[in-house]
Amino acid sequence: MRSSTRGFGLVELMVTLSVVVILMAVAVPSFRDTFIRNRLTSQVNTFMAALTYARAEAIRRGQSVTLCKSSDGQSCTSSGKNWEIGWIAFVDRDSNGTRATGSTSTETLLRAWPALPTGYTLRPNQNFDNFLRYTPRGEANNLGTFALCHDNQRVGAKAIVITLLRPRLGHDSNNNRIPENDSGDIASCFTS
């Protein structure tokens, strides 16, 4: 009697590999896009939470609370518009938008947030070069927009619109996948 077991032939193996390669070519870009979208959503939620935290602390403490970009998690960085380096929230006793450091400083550091992953940018329009302050009444010192982007692409980016009282996400009312501020689509990922 002959055994009825047999292995895969070369043709069957090549067909199987071809199907796997085609499926991978379709699935990998889609998976990458999903990963980027999810990371953008996570990062915009983190920044929105930082804004809400700063506003709530200003109201609770009855003092100005400032968010500023910070590369060291202790002091404000004044050069460039690159908020992706990280940011801090602190009690801004003199309301000047910079945190005085040292043993005699009374400007309490409340919280620090780390830098965004490589390839992601968080850039404000001209109103927020260095800081955003909330007054004891919970009002923002400036109005404007932050753009959160991956690889400087406006399509799929996120916009955070700073209003007097509460920040909000920019909408996409024309369905072109570019978020909008109060003037229309964000113009750039370098300055919203």
pLDDT tens-digit readout, 81-122: 899 999 999 999 998 888 987 766 789 999 999 999 999 999
Strand partners, 41: none
pTM given for the model: 0.81
Strands 131-134 and 153-162: unpaired
Among 127, 124, 106, residue whose Cα is nearest residue 192: 124
Angle (CA) 151-180-69 rounded to 5° is 55
Q: Is the pLDDT of residue 192 over 70?
A: no
Q: Which domains does the chain show, CATH number per domain?
A: 11-185 (3.55.40.10)
* Confidence category of residue 2, pLDDT binned at 50, 70, 90: low
